[in-house]
Amino acid sequence: MSIMSRRQALTAAVVAIALTTAGFKAGEDFQGQPHMAAAKQSLIDAQKHLTAAEADKGGHREKAMKLVKDAIAEVQAGIDYAAQNH
């Protein structure tokens, strides 16, 4: 198996684990919050595509990855806040 194939396989495994975990959490976190759930899933999808993109983007890919990670955390914080205050 080539280095790129190993990297792709590892990336696919990490994404699969993340999506499975997100699926289990979705039932408890997103009840009554379909827009927040959709936003978080879209961000997770964006994160997956950014991870798969080629690295040479003048630092913009890496910055976008950080911003998406931060956005996922903020959406989750909003979900947690709503869950605690309802």
Query: Is 21's pLDDT higher than 90?
Result: no
Give dist(CA 81, CA 75) in Å, integer. Answer: 10
pLDDT classification of 23: cutoffs 50, 70, 90: low
pLDDT, tens digit, 9 for 90 and up, residues 25-60: 555 555 689 999 999 999 999 999 999 999 989 999
Half-sphere exposure at residue 50, Cβ-oriented, CA atoms within 13 angstroms:
18
Q: How far is CA 38 from the centre of its chain?
A: 11
Token pair 């827009």 in the structure block, residue:
35
